[in-house]
Chains A and B, each alone.
Chain A
């Protein structure tokens, strides 16, 4: 069930270093929100903070609020592991579990958490997730083969299937197609258009045309200079950002004057 996320005054620290400062934004449910900007300006850091994945690195902390469904994800007593069960993530390089088959990979979210499910229900779930990721037809006859036997584009779709199998509220995608060829990229983009009916999707991308193609809202991040924190300069409807942005910095980036 797609949910909305409201971020207020979020600042992310690595130790003493401010990586991202004062981000306030609302992510709409059932839509694709793209985050663009030059390298190193905190887009991925911000994305990871939405499901508390940045905490995997030691010494990170956060000020501000990220509210989903009326609950602050950074509130006291909130378990990051539980947060990640509701907000899933797909990474830049496909990372299926190498010791598991295709079926086991999709079922991993259920199995690894020791959630009990009847075999028949699990079969259904795997099939639905693979259908949802547009991978079912290609792998339905070899579900028990190792996942690493798939091509790059197929592995990435497998990772998407794995992420949606746990039925998260939000799906975060960190440059999901940047390691793939153009045909696979197109496949992933079409997939996003289908998936946004069911999930809230936030994607970080370096590819501006991709952002223009798939998203409804776009946020532009940038950095003032080396050692400065990344900031969200502008957040608007995608058509506006790419045709008539409010900020000069956005205009400069879009037209390729820098970054």
Chain B
């Protein structure tokens, strides 16, 4: 006989008729739902993570073979088969990306400043719309645009490092504008008011108060924008081409870049192909390491330049 004080349904009555019984059923249902959801969430995480991890693993595994001194100190001059390196491609990537930054950051930053501090009405809407469109431009189209532009002046078949920079700028500017805009909007209005109340004109307020306050976010945004365009292959294929020798002059002839180098090693490996394929994998690994390095730099910038609170 169940004569206990614990809340239990008397024998014979259905479980649902007692408060405890109803509680038990819904508790069981909640637990089951919780388990299902946990499984789904972790599952989704795994599905996302597995390709990423497998990609990194594969690139490291296959790229490690050529991570030697020769790879980083020699170009492809005179190489048939074994040996060779990406000295020319690393510098090409650095120079072209550097030029891209020099073009994109001032334009992107000034546009963002205009949109946040000065823009009103239709002009602002038009610019915002155009920037949105630019974020969606396929990279090959950006490359073709830059090539066509220079071909007008230099004739067909022109290949220069700077054309690649122009193409990459078309891709980088909207990213810089978007992230700079977000960061500038985060600067509180009260800071602007404090500056205006001291009789500081608007442009000085922007240069000396708003930009220094936002510098951490701006640095991070630019670094991440660089990381995005550094591996773009299609525009560089049509604007810069490839070369075996080291060319550090962006206005004179073809240059080598890491992504295009990997492309050509893979598609025109020669005989025997293993050496070229190894070089392609290692070039891809170097590219990934560069992007990771840039992401780390972005975090360091954010930590180092954020306004100190000291509390």
Which residues of A are interface residues toward B (Cβ below 8 A)?
51, 53, 56, 58, 81-86, 88-91, 93, 95-99, 108-109, 111-114, 145-146, 148-149, 159, 162-163, 166
Task: For residue A96, give the distance in angstroms from its CB to the closest CB of chain B.
Answer: 8
Q: Which of under 10, 10 to 19, 20 to 34, or 35 or more describes the interface residues of B?
A: 20 to 34
A148 CB contact (under 8 Å) in B194, B208, B310 = B310
Assess whether B190 is in contact with A99, with CB atoms less than 8 Å apart: no
- Per-residue CB contact flags for chain B residues 186-208 toward chain A (1 = under 8 Å, else 0) read 00101111111111110011001
Q: A95-B190, A99-B213 are in contact. Are A112 and B195 (CB under 8 A)?
A: yes
Which residue on chain B has the smallest CB distance to residue A84? B199
For the complex, is B122 an interface residue (Cβ under 8 Å from A)? no
Interface CB pairs A-B, < 8 A, 11: A81-B196, A84-B196, A84-B199, A85-B198, A88-B197, A97-B191, A99-B212, A112-B204, A145-B310, A146-B308, A162-B198
Q: Are B191 and A82 touching (Cβ within 8 A)?
A: no
0 or 1 for each of B272-311: is its CB under 8 Å from A? (1 = yes): 0000000000000000000000000000000000011111
B2 interface hit (Cβ, 8 Å)? no
Closest to A145 in B: B310
Q: Which of B191-240 contact A (CB under 8 A)?
A: 191-201, 204-205, 208-209, 212-213
B213 neighbours in A (Cβ, 8 Å): 97-99
Decide: B307 and A163 in contact? CB cutoff 8 A: no
Closest to B201 in A: A81
| Residues of B near any A CB (own CB < 8 A) | 120, 188, 190-201, 204-205, 208-209, 212-213, 307-311
Contact of A91 among B193, B208, B209, B310 (CB under 8 A): B193
- The distance in angstroms between the C-alpha atoms of A178 and B301, with both chains bound, is 37
Is A113 a contact of B197 with CB atoms below 8 Å? no
Q: How far is the CA of A98 from the CA of B310 in the complex (A)?
A: 11
Chain A's nearest CB lies how many Å from the CB of B262?
42
Cα separation A99 to B215 with both chains bound (whole Å): 10
| Residues of A close to B198: CB separation below 8 A | 84-85, 88, 108-109, 112-113, 162-163, 166
Say yes or no: B197 contacts A51, CB within 8 Å: yes
